[in-house]
Chain A
Amino acid sequence: MSEIAKGFWEAWGLILSLDPDLYEIIFLSLQVTVTAVIIASAIGLPLGAWLAVNRFKFRRYVIAVLNALMGLPPVVVGLFVYMMLSRAGPLGGFGLLFSPSAMIIAQVIIVTPLIASISHQTLRDLWAEYHDLLISFNATRSQRIRALLWDGRRALLTAMLAGFGRAIGEVGAIMIVGGNIDHATRVLTTAIALETGKGNFAFAMGLGMVLITLAVLVNLLIHTLSKTEQASTW
């Protein structure tokens, strides 16, 4: 218990003293995860909308595959990306291994199915509402998708936040493809793993508190947004 208390004080000490190493780690964590979520959303949101709106022969299977991909163990994704990006692997020529880009790639792969699946589910409900109206308006397929994406924007934001929550706490994949290199690819989660392995529990807890705060903030946001979804004016 004293270890936890020590960690608590150490955390505040680091945060308030504007410890440069800590803030470098926090900044890199946000950089990697925010970039990954933006890319994953650019792919996942329209994909979810497209799946909600279109009826084609293999639709059920595609949706099942998407939901299954959500359950991909992140560390396995990390291993796969590692093998792809290694110099000895097919994409080695780009020299991306052990860089923040590799971490972003891994997180995009992990988070896109989640965002696509959530957006598909919420937009499917919205599509059920709008279906007759948009057909009556003679809207083209892309116009329908745009209407869903815009009118469903709160639910979609929730999907993005869920993706963020998943990515910011991920450690296995980015450890493998990033290498946890000091000042280069070390983020909150990998730093916690490292410090714990060194037996520096207090510092690890300090990092952990920062991470918990971030995750809690995100989840609170999701909660507030989804509760007031129907009644809200944006």
Chain B
Amino acid sequence: MVILPLTLKEATAHARGKKLLGPVSLKLDGAGITMVIGPNGAGKTTLLRLMHGLQRRSGGVVEWAVPERAARQKQSYVFQSPIMMRRRVLDSIAYPLRLRGISKAKAHAKAQQVAARFGLAELLDSWAPRLSGGEKQKLALARALITDPEILFLDEPCANLDGRATREIEEILRMAQAAGTKIVMSTHNMGQALRLADDILFLLGGKIHEQSAAEPFFQNPKTKEATAFINGDIVE
């Protein structure tokens, strides 16, 4: 089952009567890392949540190649502040597999492999809520990738992390993308966008202000707001 492409047509999102996002139209396809950038309040988080189904659409269309519930089986999401369950690291990583009916033994075995790849092997028996920020985010990523998702959403995953942890996360993301997972990720760090992006979605005021491949965007932004943003000016 392939769930991409994801199509949004004039999609909007409201909360308590206020418009958070939209109308937004885009089409997401199979390859590469798409970075969602823009100033705070532009709607980056809302867009990601809308695509993943955590935010209900108030209008327009949000469509995968298969029905929504089935599509979510092949998606994963990493939150800006990692959500830890009150369990050990090993159980946490194995949890998504257990939800899918995989036996405890098999799930734990795969979780151990994944943990090793992510540098979490020493921490398997630790209590997840007690981990450091960077360790938690790596756990969240391990948990997200253990189900071999077709697409991985990340909402500013490195916002609260130091340089070393950020480097480790970015390395993992590159590996995942190389293994075939589509990455859609928001960031307010221009450096990170420059390092990782294949495509750019530049959001402003709840709408897509510019959308293009990474290189043309950074070399030759079409709008003055994009230019200002790339330069590091405050844009509203």
A residues with a Cβ closer than 8 A to B are 129-130, 132-133, 135-139, 143, 147, 151-152, 230-231, 233
Q: How many A-B residue pairs have CB under 8 A?
A: 35
B contact patch SS: mixed
Q: What are 26 pairs between A and B in contact, CB < 8 Å?
A: A129-B83, A130-B85, A132-B54, A132-B77, A132-B79, A133-B79, A135-B53, A135-B54, A136-B54, A136-B72, A136-B75, A136-B76, A136-B77, A137-B95, A137-B96, A137-B99, A138-B69, A138-B72, A139-B99, A143-B99, A151-B86, A151-B87, A152-B86, A230-B129, A231-B130, A233-B127
Quick one: closest B residue to A136, CB to CB?
A: B77
From A132, A133, A135, give the contact of B85 (CB < 8 A). A133
Q: Is B73 interfacial (CB 8 A cutoff)?
A: yes
Report the minimal beta-carbon distance from A144 to chain B, rounded to whole angstroms: 10
Q: Which 9 A-B pairs have the closest CB atoms?
A: A133-B83, A136-B77, A151-B86, A138-B72, A233-B127, A137-B96, A132-B54, A139-B99, A138-B73
Tell me, in angstroms, the Cα distance from A139 to B127 when the chains sit together: 22
Neighbouring B residues of A152 by C-beta, 8 Å: 86
Interface centre among A143, A151, A152, A233 (most CB of B within 10 A): A233
Contact of B53 with A132 in the complex, beta carbons under 8 Å: no
Q: Is B52 interfacial (CB 8 A cutoff)?
A: yes
Interface string of B59-103 (1 = CB under 8 A from A): 000000000010011011101000101110000000110010000
Neighbouring A residues of B127 by C-beta, 8 Å: 233
Quick one: closest A residue to B55, CB to CB?
A: A132
Tell me, in angstroms, the Cα distance from A222 to B129 when the chains sit together: 22
Neighbouring A residues of B95 by C-beta, 8 Å: 137
Contact of A147 with B85 in the complex, beta carbons under 8 Å: yes
Neighbouring A residues of B86 by C-beta, 8 Å: 151-152
Neighbouring B residues of A135 by C-beta, 8 Å: 53-54
Report the minimal beta-carbon distance from A123 to chain B, rounded to whole angstroms: 12
Quick one: closest B residue to A154, CB to CB?
A: B86
Quick one: closest A residue to B52, CB to CB?
A: A136
Contact of A151 with B72 in the complex, beta carbons under 8 Å: no
Quick one: closest B residue to A132, CB to CB?
A: B54
Report the minimal beta-carbon distance from B206 to chain A, rounded to whole angstroms: 21
Report the minimal beta-carbon distance from B5 to chain A, rounded to whole angstroms: 20
Contact of A130 with B83 in the complex, beta carbons under 8 Å: yes
Tell me, in angstroms, the Cα distance from A75 to B7 when the chains sit together: 63
Neighbouring A residues of B73 by C-beta, 8 Å: 138
Tell me, in angstroms, the Cα distance from A183 to B180 when the chains sit together: 74
Quick one: closest A residue to B98, CB to CB?
A: A143
Neighbouring B residues of A233 by C-beta, 8 Å: 127
Tell me, in angstroms, the Cα distance from A135 to B55 when the chains sit together: 11
Neighbouring B residues of A143 by C-beta, 8 Å: 99
Report the minimal beta-carbon distance from A8 to chain B, rounded to whole angstroms: 44
Tell me, in angstroms, the Cα distance from A151 to B88 when the chains sit together: 11
Quick one: closest B residue to A133, CB to CB?
A: B83
Quick one: closest A residue to B129, CB to CB?
A: A230
Interface string of B109-141 (1 = CB under 8 A from A): 000000000000000000101100000000000
Neighbouring B residues of A129 by C-beta, 8 Å: 83
Tell me, in angstroms, the Cα distance from A135 to B73 when the chains sit together: 11
Neighbouring B residues of A230 by C-beta, 8 Å: 129
Report the minimal beta-carbon distance from A225 to chain B, rounded to whole angstroms: 14
Quick one: closest A residue to B147, CB to CB?
A: A137
Report the minimal beta-carbon distance from B6 to chain A, rounded to whole angstroms: 16
Neighbouring A residues of B72 by C-beta, 8 Å: 136, 138
Report the minimal beta-carbon distance from B134 to chain A, rounded to whole angstroms: 19
Tell me, in angstroms, the Cα distance from A228 to B129 when the chains sit together: 14
Contact of A151 with B85 in the complex, beta carbons under 8 Å: yes
Neighbouring A residues of B69 by C-beta, 8 Å: 138
From B79, B83, B99, B129, give the contact of A138 (CB < 8 A). B99
Neighbouring A residues of B52 by C-beta, 8 Å: 136
Report the minimal beta-carbon distance from B139 to chain A, rounded to whole angstroms: 12
Quick one: closest A residue to B82, CB to CB?
A: A133
Interface centre among A137, A143, A230 (most CB of B within 10 A): A137
Tell me, in angstroms, the Cα distance from A132 to B45 when the chains sit together: 13
Contact of B83 with A132 in the complex, beta carbons under 8 Å: yes
Tell me, in angstroms, the Cα distance from A134 to B129 when the chains sit together: 16
Interface centre among A136, A137, A139, A147 (most CB of B within 10 A): A136
